[in-house]
Chains A and B, each alone.
Chain A
């Protein structure tokens, strides 16, 4: 299942940053939405986790 990130404020029923899947896009042309800047094929970035790898002991 392909997912897309909403990248405009005009996409009906969703907010910018939401993730939609093929199920949400029945009857609409996805290519035109991507071309028009309403959807991005890049999925939303996960929040970065930090890991302390510094082992130096002063």
Chain B
């Protein structure tokens, strides 16, 4: 029977700052660009292959509650726009400190934050921001 791991309570750091208690959504996408290797004689399209290494094209999207208090969301994120940083995320808080096979730690090193919305306010709602980090090299630690 198939089993599913539901990431309902992951832990994360952005630029080594733990913002887990401000996060409501986290989506890490691991991607290698698809390179076509179809050649004459083939009867179907082919992609990749043992001798073909394409580029990673990863992304990490996170939604955070906005907070303008000292060392909170805004203070942490504002200086990251337009530069590279590192994201670490794990299915559990324990996995960030001591990764394991059942609670791995994913590190996205050298990812880029293109934009940020310092003000995202609606009447009667808690303010949230959604950030998309793109690029970078993804590694998975299980120990």
User: How many residues of chain B get a CB closer than 8 Å to chain A's CBs?
Assistant: 22
Q: CB-CB contacts of A32-52 with B at 8 A, as 1s and 0s?
A: 110111100000000000000
**A12 contacts which chain B residues (CB < 8 A)?**
13, 16-18, 88, 96
Q: A27–B17 contact, CB under 8 A?
A: no
How far, in angstroms, from A11 to B83 measured CA to CA in the complex?
19
Beyond contacts A12-B18, A28-B86: 12 other A-B pairs, Cβ-Cβ < 8 A, are A9-B71, A11-B16, A12-B96, A29-B85, A31-B79, A32-B80, A35-B79, A36-B75, A36-B76, A36-B79, A37-B71, A38-B71
How far, in angstroms, from A58 to B79 measured CA to CA in the complex?
61
A23 CB–B CB distance under 8 Å: no
Category for how many chain A residues contact B: 10 to 19
B110 CB–A CB distance under 8 Å: yes
Q: CB-CB contacts of B58-95 with A at 8 A, as 1s and 0s?
A: 00000000000011000110111001111010000000
B19 CB–A CB distance under 8 Å: yes
Given A28-B15, A28-B86, A32-B15, A10 and B80 contact (CB-CB distance below 8 Å): no
